[in-house]
Amino acid sequence: MRITFVGNPGEAVRRCLAPIVVALLALVGAGEAAAGPATLVMREVPLRGERGLSTIADRRGFDYLGLHWKGGGRISFRVLQQAGRWSDWYAADRDAGPDGATSEAARSGGWTIGEGLWVGRATRLEVRASVGVSRVRAYTVRSPVSRVPTRKLASAQQPAVVTREGWQADETIRRNEPQSAATLRFAVVHHTAGTNDYRREDAAAVVRAIQLYHVKGNGWNDIGYNALVDRFGTVYEGRWGGLEQNIVGAHARGFNTGSFGIAVMGEFTTRVPSAAAQAALVQALAWRLDLGHVDPLSTFDVISAGNERFPPGIPVFLRAIGGHRDTGLTACPGQRLYDLLPTLAARAAAIGLPKLYEPAVTGTAGGPLMFTARLSAPLDWVFTAVDAGGATVFESTGVGPTITVPWDPTALEPGVYSWRIDAPGVTPAQGTLDTAVSVVALAFTGAAVEPETIAPDGDGTLDTTALTYRLNAAANVGITVHDPEGTELAVLEAPRWRKAGEHTVTFDGLGLPDGVVELRLLATAAGGRSAARSVRVAIARTLGGVRLARAFLTPNGDGRDDSLTVRFSLAGPAQVRLRILRGSRWTATPFSGPLAAGAQIIEWDGSKRVGTLREGTYLAVLEATDPVATARVSLPFVADWTPPKVSLVSLDPLRLRVNEPVTLRIRADGLRRLVSVDRPGLIRIAGIRRPRTLVVTAVDSAGNASQPLRRSSH
């Protein structure tokens, strides 16, 4: 069955640059292209020595600039504004672009594509190149000011948008029809770099300049972003194909499919986006992610299609609203905007409630299916499936925050069926089901490790963790270990065939240094299907040898188990905390504070700040936090200080009654016996009949002894 869903770093860089300074805007070797009111000129930059500085005026002026260069070095540049003031030096940041081959320039000889930026009206350009740069090309764009109208689409949550027609996109330069992704999974936030001081009337000209540079300069099909936001709070439609569609852009190489790229116009390394820009960004993200049923606060793994940071096939842990730097080697969207993303995501999550999240279907090819989804609040919901003629073939209803619908369509005639999940006030999820095609999307329906921190030092404490995952269909599954930068450290399990269902693999971390690693799972199956998942494990060898002297606490003053003794060792200094839990409820914290390396003992006498300790089963949870992670060990113990009870039922045969599991110490007519009793109730003692003298004491597992039971016939 086939299921379809409808639905500025400048100073550090400048210090590393060699003092090779070059000038641009010579009036030779230039190529020109026009796109509507915007025009682009490409020139070769004559690389010269430090003392051969030459600045040549561009009489017509330019507003937007992008650089391409060959070689392994770096470049920076500045421009002379029309008012006669030189700008700051900018470090040329590489642009990401489409997945696969990036552009005609890149395909024709190893050119690095630089990110374009709006510079305002400028007349001169200076470029610095480090050793290793062999050629530089400059693309300058002049894009005049024009007035633009905004529009509002049908959705009540969509912000006002300047359409492509409004900002005068040149549709004649588009190279190919856009591609669409099956689903939307996440959003990538960018900045366009350049000046933040553009005027309101300049904003559309900035968007036109970006389109012209992306197409004529970089060789892309169209403007790379799906949408843009200016500092005045206006949203602009980006790549052709419609904001409501899952159009594949060219903004985050390796991660364009299934993502929504939105750029805030300006540079935000040291400056914070305006309040208006933030509000428009939040509203645009809230609306677009709601269309895709994506929780703005969710996280997941995305398989890279390949770029300079993440090779093809690598699962990468991303946020639903993340920054360009999360997917590649770039400073975009600037540190100040990047730091705001968690707050902006929370704001987006609160807009337009209620919402429906994560519609999914799992099942076995040719068998029953399970449709699931999540609601932002408990609601009445309904699942409906109809045939090609609109007749209902299946319906299910329910109430609550989660939606789970089992449906077996195998009895239906082969064909295409439409399904829909709806609830009051939400954007419905809908799609199609082709029962004639026996392919079900492959997915990991769960993956987790327990414990999350290990200390593989061979002392028997936290030496290993269990990775448990669940597959919805049979597939080849391989598991690799990676560091936080994505470098593969080890192969935990080579690809092997796994049936649908739950599987467990042990990871010991042996041979790996302390730190956080990712266990990356990659499943592949017939039909080109694949799925990825990753979980993180911390390796921290600071805590070891954790044990209880005895797993009992009997604070009754008899000198036996009056305190709970926890023994452990620290390989280095750590912040240590010992908590006492009963079930999942906190009971007491006997110790919290820093401890030095070495053997350690913590004793607890059962006292609490509030209330008194009750008898029962508890957990002593010891945590040690070092610079890597928090290691945690849970040790069960029993608090018991009440003696057991034993009573005589009969002497012939000898029968006794106890109220809990105990060890009976029996002395009958001088004969001594020990009898273990594993449950409360009536106990018959074989081999003893009508004793003349009898003494019985019951001792429970905590060491509490009953009052002796005595009987004598004298």
Return d(Cα 220, Cα 216) in angstroms, integer. 8
Q: What φ, ψ does residue 409 adopt, rounded to 5°?
A: -90, 10
- Evaluate if residue 155 carries a pLDDT over 50: no
Sequence-ordered list of residues with C-beta below 8 angstroms from that of 611, at least 6 positions apart, any chain:
none
**Half-sphere CA count of 550, side-chain side, radius 13 A:** 12
Q: How many residues does the chain have?
A: 714
pLDDT (0 to 100) of residue 25 = 39
pLDDT band at 440 (very low <50, low <70, confident <90, very high): low
- Name beta bridge partners: 33: 40
Segment 392-408 shows an average pLDDT of 94
With pLDDT > 90 as the criterion, what percentage of the chain qualifies?
55
- Evaluate if residue 439 carries a pLDDT over 70: no
Helices H / strands E in the chain, number of each: 5, 46
Give residue 241's region: left, alpha or beta (phi > 0; psi -120 to 50).
Answer: left
pLDDT band at 177 (very low <50, low <70, confident <90, very high): confident
Q: Which two tokens stand for residue 70?
A: 């060959």
Round the average pLDDT of the chain to a whole number and report it: 86
- Evaluate if residue 585 carries a pLDDT over 50: yes
Q: Tell me which H or E stretch contains 546.
A: strand 543-548
Tens digits of per-residue pLDDT, 629-679?
Answer: 999 999 999 999 999 999 999 998 899 999 999 999 999 998 899 999 999
Measured CA distances, 690 to 243, 668, 671, 686, 698 (Å): 94, 9, 13, 12, 20
Q: pTM for the complete prediction? A: 0.62
Measured CA distances, 173 to 34, 67, 106, 166, 569 (Å): 9, 20, 19, 17, 69
- Evaluate if residue 361 carries a pLDDT over 50: yes
**Half-sphere CA count of 415, side-chain side, radius 13 A:** 12
pLDDT (0 to 100) of residue 564 = 95
Instruction: Decide if 479 contacts 488 (C-beta within 8 A).
Output: no
pLDDT (0 to 100) of residue 640 = 94
Tens digits of per-residue pLDDT, 286-329?
Answer: 999 999 999 999 988 888 888 888 888 778 889 999 999 999 98
Tens digits of per-residue pLDDT, 506-517?
Answer: 999 988 999 999
Strand, coil or helix: 331: coil
- Evaluate if residue 153 carries a pLDDT over 70: no
Q: Tell me which H or E stretch contains 287.
A: helix 275-291
pLDDT (0 to 100) of residue 292 = 94
Instruction: Decide if 344 contacts 281 (C-beta within 8 A).
Output: yes
Return d(Cα 252, Cα 254) in angstroms, integer. 6
